[in-house]
């Protein structure tokens, strides 16, 4: 027991150190612009796309939720509650016919914790390549171009007590933009804690922690993001006991490297552990705002859908995902 508490304190200390590093890096990059929005200061933007339809439908307030393989994209600590084997697959229809695909799986190893794997890939379709020339059209066709962006990860999580879990992901990220390609190792680390009062949960995570990458003549970093979230059983707060209905309200604060602080608010209603309805809102975004979604669970399988609004200029994003908890 003393060993578990020592490890718990150590993980909390590491989270604190990493969060201080996030703040220090941001201050070094913007020493005289404390209120700047810091737009366009990071690369590997595809890492900011969260593929799970369940979390997206809740306004991406997913950091405290746990128990299946989809949570690895928000907080690897959520894997610590996987009971046996969980498999997730997600598809996102992004802007300009860009397709984002994701897969993850997790397995409980008993006293040895939970291990997981994950992968994301971005399909940009066919892009026509041209170069400037003195021809009548002003350019020459050089054929189709292929852009590659993907990340593969290995995760480990453990439940140190009945209420406290932690996890870490190490991922290999690669980007090939034709003119130059690059790759880097990045880390996600997180914790979650259930207070035991009306299922009130608190979670912290840091995503995309890595070294700087050089692209041609300039250095850039990954979209480093610090998250703190809370969720609670709303019916329990209202002293309503029900085995049929469940309502979760979640709030999340987000501190990204390339923008000012943001707030996400979301909720999920579950009827009879089968039908789910979700909604959320994201504050301090240029175009993103509300989202909603639904899910249907049958035996060990659950399928989810989410709609996210990006305003009149960009339109909307649709996500579909499926989870098997075996």
The pLDDT-based confidence of 181 (bands split at 50, 70, 90) is confident
Of residues 286, 324, 269, 321, the one with CA closest to residue 58: 269
Tens digits of per-residue pLDDT, 238-290?
A: 999 899 999 999 999 999 998 899 999 999 999 999 999 999 999 999 999 99
Q: Mention every residue, 6+ apart, whose C-beta is less than 8 A from residue 119.
A: 102, 103, 104, 150, 151, 152, 153
The pLDDT-based confidence of 31 (bands split at 50, 70, 90) is very low
Report percent pLDDT > 70 for the chain: 87
Q: Mention every residue, 6+ apart, whose C-beta is less than 8 A from residue 76.
A: 116, 155, 156, 157, 167, 168, 169, 188, 189, 190, 205
The pLDDT-based confidence of 5 (bands split at 50, 70, 90) is very low
pLDDT given for residue 313 in this prediction: 84
d(CA 183, CA 108): 30
2-325 is a CATH 3.30.70.1450 domain: no
Check pLDDT > 50 for residue 13.
no
To the nearest 5 percent, what fractions of the chain are helix, strand and coil? 20, 50, 30
Could you tell me which residue, 104 or 17, shows the higher pLDDT? Answer: 104
pLDDT given for residue 190 in this prediction: 97
Tens digits of per-residue pLDDT, 39-63?
A: 667 889 999 999 999 999 999 999 9
pLDDT given for residue 179 in this prediction: 66
Could you tell me which residue, 129 or 15, shows the higher pLDDT? Answer: 129
Computed from CA positions of residues 168, 27, 222, 316, in that sequence, does the dihedral angle turn out positive or negative? positive
CB 47 within 8 A of CB 220: no
Q: Mention every residue, 6+ apart, whose C-beta is less than 8 A from residue 183.
A: 172, 173, 174, 175
Q: Where are the domains of the chain?
A: 2-325
Which DSSP helix (H) or strand (E) runs through 25?
helix 2-29
Token output for 134: 């003195």
Check pLDDT > 50 for residue 10.
no
Tens digits of per-residue pLDDT, 187-213?
A: 999 999 999 999 999 999 999 999 988
d(CA 186, CA 58): 26
Computed from CA positions of residues 48, 54, 59, 63, in that sequence, does the dihedral angle turn out positive or negative? negative
């Amino acid at each position: 027991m003393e060993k578990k508490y020592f490890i718990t304190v150590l993980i909390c200390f590491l989270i604190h150190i990493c969060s201080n590093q996030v703040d220090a890096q941001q201050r070094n990059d913007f020493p005289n612009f404390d209120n700047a929005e810091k737009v366009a200061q990071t690369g590997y933007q595809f890492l900011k796309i969260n593929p799970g339809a369940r979390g997206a439908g809740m306004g991406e307030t997913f950091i405290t939720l746990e128990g299946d393989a989809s949570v690895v994209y928000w907080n690897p600590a959520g894997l610590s509650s996987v009971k046996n084997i969980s498999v997730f697959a997600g598809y996102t229809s992004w802007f300009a016919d860009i397709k984002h695909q994701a897969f993850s799986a997790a397995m409980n190893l008993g006293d040895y914790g939970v291990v997981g794997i994950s992968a994301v890939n971005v399909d940009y379709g066919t892009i026509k390549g041209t170069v400037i020339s003195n021809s009548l059209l002003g350019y020459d066709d050089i054929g189709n171009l292929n852009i590659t962006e993907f990340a593969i990860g290995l995760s480990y999580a453990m439940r140190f007590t009945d209420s406290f879990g932690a996890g870490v992901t190490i991922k290999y990220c690669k980007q090939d933009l034709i003119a130059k390609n690059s790759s880097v190792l990045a880390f996600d680390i997180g914790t979650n804690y259930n207070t035991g009062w009306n299922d009130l949960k608190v979670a912290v995570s840091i995503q995309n922690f890595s070294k700087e990458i050089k692209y041609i003549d300039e250095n850039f970093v990954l979209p480093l993001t610090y998250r703190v979230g809370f969720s609670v059983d709303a019916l329990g707060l209202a002293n309503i006991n029900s085995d049929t209905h469940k309502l979760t309200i979640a709030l999340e604060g987000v501190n990204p490297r390339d923008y000012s602080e943001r707030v996400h608010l979301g909720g999920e209603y579950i009827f009879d552990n089968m039908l789910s309805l979700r909604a959320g809102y994201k504050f301090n975004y240029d175009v993103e705002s509300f989202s909603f979604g639904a899910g249907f669970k049958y035996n060990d399988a659950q399928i989810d859908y989410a709609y996210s609004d990006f305003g009149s200029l960009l339109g909307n994003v649709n996500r579909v995902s499926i989870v098997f908890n075996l």
